[in-house]
Structure 1
């Protein structure tokens, strides 16, 4: 499996030389595109549409759970990154920490899947972006294909697991509603004070 993984890595990573015109895009996807998912969380939270905030709560909780799982795996199963173990086309700077599984792929896929579960049309766009991030992490030399594949599996699985918990257990639903309720209560008070100040 490791030999196949490295062979596929070489094929993808060599594209940084043969198709170098795509390198700026891949560098952006590998380093910066994750912030688009943070922006998505903020956008959907404030976009006034039914169930958006429930979706965001699920996405955040799922992301926290998935990344915690990654941390545990990385602690007990350390795998050196490609640029540490091999000569690679290394396009971005990165710490020499655990390579497996990919946190970037996990975070991207867990949020994209959470969005897909609630809003299919938007979800496909985010899933394509998540796939782009996963590919770019290999292209730029910081992950093996198996790293990002594991991240994808963990992200997708945890997003569905969290959604199932909220769907099947009323207590979980109440937790979500309580979180949203606390925020909306604070938000209402801030808006009320803001309106009072304007009237003065």
Structure 2
């Protein structure tokens, strides 16, 4: 199932150039974009929003640390290592699980849900 879902998504690459560009941007610079966004919220926000920035930053670091720990005990190779796929840009053949991008997005969404329930939903 893991590969079937991946293949479905990967088959879209090369057909929608604008979507490929967005995926490359988010994949390569997602962490930096997230940090810039938190910086804007910090500078332009009130004390409540600054509190959310601090909580989101710590939660993100905790999620990445947990990803690192899990990857030390369980290794799931990336699909391009064992299958023929269309890569939008080169990537290291490190562990694909747990996903840093998925963990980061989930952590951000969870923090927004906890801190600002209406926006989180």
Q: TM-score, normalised by structure 1?
A: 0.53
More helix by share: 1
Relative to structure 1, the CA distance from residue 6 to residue 97 in structure 2 (aligned partners, 3 Å threshold; closer, same or farther) is: same
Mapping of residues 98-177 of structure 1, within 5 Å: 98-119=95-116, 123=120
Q: TM-score, normalised by structure 2?
A: 0.84
Structure 2 unaligned residues grouped into runs of 5+:
none
8 Å CA contact 1:115–1:123 kept in 2: the answer is yes
Look at both structures and tell me which one has the larger radius of gyration over its CA atoms. 1
Relative to structure 1, the CA distance from residue 118 to residue 38 in structure 2 (aligned partners, 3 Å threshold; closer, same or farther) is: same
Aligned length: 120
4+ long deviations beyond 2 Å = 19-22, 32-36, 115-124
Partner of 2:84: 87
- What's the secondary structure of 1:51's corresponding residue? helix
Structure 1 unaligned residues grouped into runs of 5+:
125-200
Partner of 1:67: 64
CA RMSD of aligned residues (A): 2.0
Shift of 1:68: 1.1
